[in-house]
Amino acid sequence: MRSCHFTGRPGPATCPVCLVNCPTVSNGTLRWRCVGRPATLCCHRPPSNTGMEQPIKVLLIEDSATDARLLRIFLGESSTHCFDIVHVARLAEGMERIGKEHFDVILSDLLLPDSQGIETFERLHAHVEHVPIIVLSGSDDENLAVRAVREGAQDYLVKGRIDGHGLVRSITYAIERHRAEQRLQESERHYKFLLESITDYSYSVKIEDGKPGLISHGPGCVSITGYSAQEFEADPKLWFRMVHEADREAVQEQARRIQAGETPPPLEHRIVHKDGEARWVRHTVVACRNRDGNLSSFDGLIADITQRKKAEQDLVKSEAFYHSLVENLPQNILRKDLNERFTFANQRFCAMLGMPLEQIIGKTDFDFFPPELAEKYQRDDRYVIRTGQIFETIEENHAPTGEKLYVNVIKTPIYDAKGQIIGIQGIFWDITERKRFEERLQRANQELAASEAALRKSHEELKSAQLQLIQAEKMESIGTLAAGVAHEVKNPLAILMMGVNYLTKKLGGAEDGIQQVLKEMREAIDRADAITRGLLDFSASRQLAIKSESLNTLIDETLRLVRHELRTKQIVVQKNLGERLPGVGVDKRQIQQVLVNLIVNSIHAMPEGGTLMVRSYTKQLTETSHTEGSRRASHFWVGDMAVVIEVEDTGTGIPEENLAKIFDPFFTTKPTGVGTGLGLPVSKKIIELHGGSLDVRNVKGGGVRATILLRPQKA
């Protein structure tokens, strides 16, 4: 279903003039029923090839219905354009329509019921700046129309002189012209905006009579130079003075070349800012020529490049700094690309290879080193390239003289701006001297450690000997004291003994009571004598009668000596004597005394009976024992062979607090008269005189074990 372009209603076209009549067919041609003209427009017109599919939307403001109808007819007849006409009779109505819909062009009479004369145009123009306006006027007020055109109307048409073709052309031109104007305005605004937003300082110099004349300064001049346009205008020489003294000649040269018709490249020079500080600027000058090719003016653009210049200078300084570093370091420095070709070598490395840098760049290790070395170097490089890791090593090389040289090598990857590895950088330096010092230091250190160990050992021995000496001193003085005491006690005992002897004889037949008293006195004397004897045993310095003895025989004999005691106390003896014990050089009587002492102690510890274990065996020592109390060191060292005798009981054990005191003379826990407190001290002394050791300790689960270590006789 087609719709009518004039009315927008579906169905056949409506005549643009009468609005009601539809075209009729007569003589094979469609004609408007009202006017009889061929209906070439609208729905009846075949599709156009002009591409002008969209009708031109026209707002017609015209209070004369006749004029309006005429214009409709003219536009409707156009074979090139299609128009969609909205017709109103009053300005207010027109403005209202403008506010509601879009129009491509406005045709407006100036004499309207609600507005007359130029005011009609002005109001319209103020209301719709973006739509071209064509003014319609009568022949009597053409001047008014001309004025409207001057004020911005696209065209004016004089009623009565309008024809169809002229009207369409006027409308299409008005639209085109209006569009062009709009584009121009847009462009102007754009450039104006652009120019205003440039912070650079632009200026323009007019050439008058071949000489520079009027100068205009852009708004950027304040920020770049510190001076305002007014200041430049007030002092014509200010501009040139502003140029840094050293650069004035170059600036003058640039101006000269411009005036000579050349196009000089941008000049970088310094100016002195109003604040007194020198600034770097980039000064571009462009010449403008008139149609004759003569210079009419030139424009300058001055940009502050102080920051950039400073960055450049910093870069140069930094370059110089690193260059100096690289060339003055005592290290060899080199760079290679991914193909193992040298891209850099510092002077030291060049000197090492004995050729200038140009002959090194582009070459590989194979050009300078033996193949196996070159292969190794490249292997290291490839490791760095593959892993991105730093490679550090100390290479051992041999000098032609045969001595070992040490070289410390560090290789690191080189990256490009994208973070891709593009090669490696190597730094190496000779550390032979340092290495030699290290080796010497290490040797010295080892020697020092060895002598320190020896020192420590001898210190320990000394300490042990000192402890023994102190203890021996102590024992010696106790011994002297004991001997004195014993002697002084024995004499009164001798007197008592004589007295008791005498009384016994004299009172031989006396009553039992007296006999009992004398007997007890006699026993008391014996006891006191035993104590003093023990004391003397302990304190005496003795001569040993050393003979090679079988310890097992000795043990058996000792057990026989005490078998009566063992039997009465119901003590079971477990013997475990090692076979083929080596002979031991001992004073048999003394060792027997020691064994008796130890066994008696065990018996006393088992008043309710128990088991006495006696063992003998040989063993290689795994720990050393330093024992105190003898001048004759009883040192056993780890690895020494020893013959061991153990006497162990299942008795009461030694209270922890007493363990440290058991070798002190006179220390005893036995009832008075049972022990003298000298058994263990004497035993220990005897064993130590034999160069052995005696150790007494509690056994887990109760009981005590005494361990005697003796040296086997040397075969």
Partner 1 sequence: MAKKRVLLVDDEKSFTNLLKLNLEETGDYEVRVENWAEDAFQAARDFKPDIVLLDIIMPRMPGGNVAAQFKDDPDLKDTPIVFLTAAVRKHQIDENDGIICDHPCIAKPVPVETVIEFIEKHVRK
**Residues recorded for the chain:** 715
Tokens standing for residue 200: 């650079």
In the list 472, 525, 647, 680, the residue contacting partner 1 (rule: CB under 8 A) is: 525
In the list 365, 537, 649, 688, the residue contacting partner 1 (rule: CB under 8 A) is: 537
**Is 149 or 536 the residue whose CB approaches partner 1 more closely?**
536
In the list 490, 527, 661, 705, the residue contacting partner 1 (rule: CB under 8 A) is: 490
> Does residue 491 touch partner 1 according to CB under 8 A?
yes
> Does residue 480 touch partner 1 according to CB under 8 A?
no
**Is 543 or 672 the residue whose CB approaches partner 1 more closely?**
543
Q: How far apart are CA 525 and CA 527, in angstroms?
A: 5
Q: Judge whether 342 and 349 are in contact, CB under 8 Å.
A: no
> Does residue 529 touch partner 1 according to CB under 8 A?
yes
In the list 496, 521, 621, 633, the residue contacting partner 1 (rule: CB under 8 A) is: 496
Q: What is the pairing mode between strands 641-649 and 584-586?
A: unpaired
**Is 189 or 542 the residue whose CB approaches partner 1 more closely?**
542
Q: Judge whether 500 and 518 are in contact, CB under 8 Å.
A: yes
Q: How far apart are CA 36 and CA 21, in angstroms?
A: 11
Cα angle value 199/205/211 (rounded, 5°): 160
The interface region with partner 1, picked from 125-133, 209-217, 531-539, 698-706 by CB under 8 A, is: 531-539
HEC string of 525-586 equals: HHHHHHHHHHHHHHHCCCCCCCEEECHHHHHHHHHHHCHHHHHHCCEEEEEEECCCCCCEEE
DSSP letter for each residue of 367-394: GTS-HHHHHHHHHHHHHHHHH---EEEE
Q: Footprint of partner 1 on residues 305-344 (CB under 8 A)? A: none
**Is 265 or 492 the residue whose CB approaches partner 1 more closely?**
492
Q: Footprint of partner 1 on residues 584-623 (CB under 8 A)? A: none
> Does residue 502 touch partner 1 according to CB under 8 A?
yes
Q: How far apart are CA 462 and CA 594, in angstroms?
A: 29
* C-alpha distances in Å from residue 268, one per residue of 307, 490, 574, 645: 13, 127, 116, 108
**Closest CA relative to residue 330, chosen from 217, 467, 428, 220:** 428
* Beta pairing partners, 413: 424
615 phi/psi in degrees, rounded to 5: -130, 155
**Closest CA relative to residue 295, chosen from 284, 304, 286:** 286
Distance of closest approach, residue 483 Cβ to partner 1, in angstroms: 8
Distance of closest approach, residue 697 Cβ to partner 1, in angstroms: 31
The interface region with partner 1, picked from 126-134, 231-239, 312-320, 483-491 by CB under 8 A, is: 483-491
> Does residue 486 touch partner 1 according to CB under 8 A?
yes
- SS3 state of residue 481: helix
Q: Judge whether 106 and 136 are in contact, CB under 8 Å.
A: no
Distance of closest approach, residue 584 Cβ to partner 1, in angstroms: 21
In the list 190, 323, 440, 487, the residue contacting partner 1 (rule: CB under 8 A) is: 487
> Does residue 510 touch partner 1 according to CB under 8 A?
no
Distance of closest approach, residue 542 Cβ to partner 1, in angstroms: 9
> Does residue 421 touch partner 1 according to CB under 8 A?
no
The interface region with partner 1, picked from 135-143, 190-198, 486-494, 704-712 by CB under 8 A, is: 486-494
> Does residue 231 touch partner 1 according to CB under 8 A?
no
In the list 92, 338, 536, 596, the residue contacting partner 1 (rule: CB under 8 A) is: 536
Distance of closest approach, residue 553 Cβ to partner 1, in angstroms: 21
Tokens standing for residue 628: 């105190």
**Is 311 or 495 the residue whose CB approaches partner 1 more closely?**
495
> Does residue 485 touch partner 1 according to CB under 8 A?
no
Residue with tokens 């027997």: 592
Distance of closest approach, residue 548 Cβ to partner 1, in angstroms: 20
**Is 300 or 665 the residue whose CB approaches partner 1 more closely?**
665
In the list 498, 510, 641, 674, the residue contacting partner 1 (rule: CB under 8 A) is: 498
Residues that bind partner 1 (CB under 8 A): 483, 486-491, 493-499, 501-502, 505-506, 525, 529, 533, 536-537
